[in-house]
Amino acid sequence: MSEIVLVHGAWHGPWCWDGVVAELRRLGLQATAVDLPFGGLDADAAAVRAAINTAGPGCVVVGHSYGGIVISEAAAGLPAVTRLIYLAAFLTEPDADTTALISEKLAGSIVVDERGITVDPAAAAEVFYGDADPDTAAAMAVRLRPMPMSAIEPSGTDPSGDEPAEARPPAWLTVPATYVVCTNDQAIPVEAQREMATRAEKVVEWPTSHTPFVTRPAEVAELIASYAS
């Protein structure tokens, strides 16, 4: 039976997948929600690569938002991965300028201080969790964590240490990918998502905010399960 590896986006943590993990278990599937260290793309990809190697053959890897960049690098060259799912995620060429792909609303809510880069919790409730009830959105927003400036530095070394990272093509060039476009997203404009989705084998669209794992965990789990064997 396939194992699922779930990769959260910027400022989030593995806790954001709790509802999806519960639904996957109800469907008889095991899932690992990776805790990204936010130590730069190479360190984050290394954490996901380790989780994939532990999961073994038939692994389905899901990346949300920034997590899309991470899974594109982490899953590269790993035959255990049979499907990539990009959930309102960055599905880009290596070294693409992802700051140009975020909404003005998100860009305007980013705060840079001594802790690093974070998002104003008051704005995050609308930008990330627009279709959640106010109490849930507020509870999620206060759990967001800062990312150090180094966390957004480009990749340059191999996450596993066995060959230069730039020697491997991004995973989506060799592994079938599904892109989930979230049409009410206030963080990554829908036009940008649709453009990135042209790199995927399959595209689905949901009328949700940036975080359907909050309000549609069963639907997210069912999509993932459809690729599990």
Q: pLDDT tens across 159-212, in order?
A: 444 444 456 799 999 999 999 999 999 999 999 999 999 999 999 999 999 999
Domain that holds residue 175: 3-225
> DSSP letters along 125-161, please?
HHHHHTTS-HHHHHHHHTT---B-GGGGSPP-S-SSS
CATH number reported for the structural domain that contains residue 96 in this entry: 3.40.50.1820
Q: pLDDT tens across 53-109, in order?
A: 999 999 999 999 999 999 999 999 999 999 999 999 999 998 888 989 999 999 999
Closest residue by Cα to residue 67 from 112, 109, 36: 36
Give the per-residue pLDDT at 155.
53
Give the per-residue pLDDT at 152.
59
Residues of the chain with pLDDT > 70, as a percent, come to 92
DSSP annotation of 147 reads B
DSSP element (H, E) containing 94: none
pTM to 2 decimal places: 0.93
Tally of domains in the chain: 1
